Amino acid sequence: MSQGLPATAAMLAIGDELLSGRTKDRNIGHLAEVLTMAGIDLKEVRIVGDEPHIIADTLNTLRRQYDYVFTSGGIGPTHDDITADAVAAAFALPIDEHPEAVALLSDHYARREMPFTEARRRMTRTPKGAALIDNPVSVAPGFRIENVFVMAGVPDVFKAMLGKVVEGLPQGRAVQSVAIPCPYGEGDIGDPLRELAKRHEGVVIGSYPKFDGKHYSTEIVLRARDDAALGEAAKDVRRMLAEMDDTKRV
């Protein structure tokens, strides 16, 4: 990543169940929040199905374009868990059982007097050279290879693995944000807000409509890494709203 600029990231969520609507993704929003707090810019998310060459091609596109890629899904013990193989194919690396993962899981199942089945052994397979990602919830690890972090799709496990991963990454300067509630609809504030946005180019100004079934209101959200610029823009927005209040009272 370039010195001084925030690191960039993409997410690749994997699974037919996300595209059929059977499972509603809950990891994208969580990753987005965590990366924002860590000062890493999430630039793009893709969801693809359980098709090995599509996973591999998409991963190759993303890992070359962004500093980090985070994947979710497809690393369990069943035949439809093909992410590790697809990642190995993307990197043109052999895949094999990772000795640390074998030790972790064989110990885990031995202590529970459960058989270490062929299916369970599948969860120890990683591309050659991968480092394991700790799974404090259900033991079977994720893995990192170069700038790609391969994690589980089950939200509790994804969350736990991501926590471990983000601890280990250099933290950027987090984007600061200010949310200003606004009693007017977007149609009322659109024109003055556009002028205001032009005066504050270093601040990203978003407006989010709310509708309570009767009336529209808006939340205006300002985002920037520069505190001073953010403060100036927020002052300007509050002044704009005060002026609108005065007009409405006339």
| β-bridge partners, 9 | 42, 68
Q: Where does this chain touch a copy of itself (CB under 8 A) — which range of 70-78, 84-92, 165-173, 231-239?
A: 70-78
Rounded to a whole number of angstroms, the minimum distance from the CB of residue 129 to a copy of itself is: 26
Q: Where does this chain touch a copy of itself (CB under 8 A) — which range of 41-49, 83-91, 127-135, 224-232?
A: 41-49
Three-class SS of residue 229? helix
- Does 176 bind a copy of itself (CB under 8 A)? Our answer is no
Binding residues for a copy of itself, rule CB under 8 A, total: 65
- Does 32 bind a copy of itself (CB under 8 A)? Our answer is yes
Identify the CA nearest to 59 among candidates 127, 129, 160.
127
Three-class SS of residue 76? coil
- Does 106 bind a copy of itself (CB under 8 A)? Our answer is no
Of 22 and 228, CB closest to a copy of itself: 22
- Does 208 bind a copy of itself (CB under 8 A)? Our answer is yes
Kindly report the length of the chain.
250
Residue from 52, 172, 183, 206 binding a copy of itself (CB under 8 A): 206
Of 127 and 153, CB closest to a copy of itself: 153
Of 128 and 248, CB closest to a copy of itself: 248
Residue from 175, 182, 222, 234 binding a copy of itself (CB under 8 A): 175
Which residues lie below 8 Å from residue 34, measured CB to CB, with a gap of 6+?
162, 163, 166
Of 7 and 145, CB closest to a copy of itself: 7
| β-bridge partners, 149 | 70, 144
Sequence-ordered alpha helix ranges (H) in the chain: 16-20, 27-38, 52-65, 83-91, 99-111, 118-122, 155-167, 186-199, 227-249
Identify the CA nearest to 125 among candidates 86, 164, 96, 82.
96
Which tokens is 61 given?
């596109």
Angstrom CA distances, 65 to 13, 15, 87, 162, stand at 17, 22, 16, 21
Residue from 1, 39, 49, 229 binding a copy of itself (CB under 8 A): 49
- Does 183 bind a copy of itself (CB under 8 A)? Our answer is no
- Using CB under 8 A as the criterion, which residues of the chain lie in contact with a copy of itself when the complex forms? 16-25, 28-36, 41-50, 76-80, 109, 114, 117-120, 122-123, 138, 154, 156, 175, 177, 186-191, 193-194, 197, 204-209, 211, 221, 223
